[in-house]
Amino acid sequence: MDYAKAYLFFLRKPQTGFKNVLFGTIISLIPAIGPIIFLGYMVVIAEWLLKDEKRENYPDFSFDRFLDYLKLGLWPFVTVLIFSLLIILPIYLILAAIAFGIGIALDEPILIPIILAILGLFLGFMISYVMGPLLLYSQKYQKLDIKGASRFALNFVKTLGFKHVIVVIINMMLSFLVTLIGFLFCLIGIYPANTVSQVAYEHILIQLYDEYLALGGDRLPSVDLPHELAFQPSDLNQSRRFSQEQKDYDDSEF
């Protein structure tokens, strides 16, 4: 796993890296549709990363593609929302009830926030652990498919095993560190730090997906992006290899 590349590739793009972070941060702050638009942009980023041998080439954010981003981000957003309401929220309520119960039973109210903090970390781990493959599936299929997403997520975590657990824990620590650095920049730095962490998580998902495929996992389909957002290989040789890989994949599907 290349964590350094995951957290730096978005920023390191010549001339436009910091601009993309800024635009992504501004978009994410737009009420209601902002997160959906940014999620759609990450769909495009993921598609480019999967087709780029170096796993670092991605398109610049374009305000002209708002509607495309919105369409691409809709179903991943709905999928994550539904699973959050059906799984994460009930788990959180149960854990919170347990925390209050322990605090009251021991007559130590001070334990309640401590237990809630510990349970919050556990819940954060579960969100990254479970939601990652669900998000990847919905990004690639561009539809609401609870059964299919659940099946893929289960197969994903089973195939990767303990490595997936370790990767999620390390990413949580790195994300916390990036957020802390952003906090030191007069608090406002938290927002671009969150943008970098989200894109880094997408990159880590792609790396895990590579591992998943190497271990015999099922390949997900490519996203049919608009022509203006379609992958542009960084050199001619890579373009030829990509075209051949696409042809081989299409033939195997046929």
Tell me the pLDDT tens digit for each residue of 65-115: 889 999 999 999 998 888 878 777 777 777 777 777 776 776 666 766 777
Q: What value does the mean pLDDT take over residues 126-136?
A: 83
Q: What value does the mean pLDDT take over residues 37-50?
A: 91
Task: State the pLDDT confidence band at 238, using cuts at 50, 70 and 90.
Answer: very low
Best-predicted range by mean pLDDT (67-76, 114-123, 189-198): 67-76
End-to-end CA distance of the chain: 33
Q: What value does the mean pLDDT take over residues 6-13?
A: 87
Q: What whole-number distance in Å separates Cα of residue 127 and Cα of residue 80?
A: 10
Higher confidence at residue 84 or residue 133?
133
DSSP codes, 140-208 = HH-S--HHHHHHHHHHHHHHHTHHHHHHHHHHHHHHHHHHHHHHHTTTTTHHHHHHHHHHHHHHHHHHH
Ranges of each domain in the chain: 3-253
**pLDDT given at position 109:** 67
Task: State the pLDDT confidence band at 249, using cuts at 50, 70 and 90.
Answer: very low
Return the amino acid letter for 196. Answer: V
Q: What whole-number distance in Å separates Cα of residue 62 and Cα of residue 20?
A: 9
Question: In whole numbers, what is the pLDDT of the chain averaged over residues?
Answer: 81
Tokens 């305000």, located at residue:
63
Q: What whole-number distance in Å separates Cα of residue 193 and Cα of residue 10?
A: 12
Task: State the pLDDT confidence band at 247, using cuts at 50, 70 and 90.
Answer: low
- Decide if 114 contacts 106 (C-beta within 8 A): no
Residue 28 has pLDDT above 80, yes or no: yes
Predicted TM-score (pTM) of the model is 0.80
Angle between helix axes 34-51 and 190-214 (nearest 10 degrees) is 40
> In this predicted structure, which of 31-40, 118-127, 142-151 has the lowest mean pLDDT?
118-127
Smallest CA-to-CA distance from 144 within 219, 87, 77, 206 is with 77
202-228 b/e (C-beta count within 10 Å ≥ 16 → b) = bbbbbbbbeebeeeebeebeebebeee
Q: What value does the mean pLDDT take over residues 227-251?
A: 57
Return the amino acid letter for 74. Answer: L
Model confidence over 174-187: pLDDT tens digits?
A: 888 888 887 777 66
**pLDDT given at position 186:** 66
Residue 132 has pLDDT above 60, yes or no: yes
Please tell me what DSSP assigns to residue 229: G
- Decide if 56 contacts 234 (C-beta within 8 A): no
Handedness of CA 73, 79, 81, 84 (dihedral sign): negative
**pLDDT given at position 209:** 92
Q: What whole-number distance in Å separates Cα of residue 194 and Cα of residue 184?
A: 14
Q: What whole-number distance in Å separates Cα of residue 234 and Cα of residue 54?
A: 10
Residue 251 has pLDDT above 70, yes or no: no
Smallest CA-to-CA distance from 5 within 137, 134, 171, 163 is with 171
Q: What value does the mean pLDDT take over residues 165-194?
A: 82
**pLDDT given at position 248:** 53
Task: State the pLDDT confidence band at 195, using cuts at 50, 70 and 90.
Answer: confident
Task: State the pLDDT confidence band at 156, using cuts at 50, 70 and 90.
Answer: very high
R_g over Cα of the chain: 19
Tokens 């954060």, located at residue:
124
Return the amino acid letter for 116. Answer: L
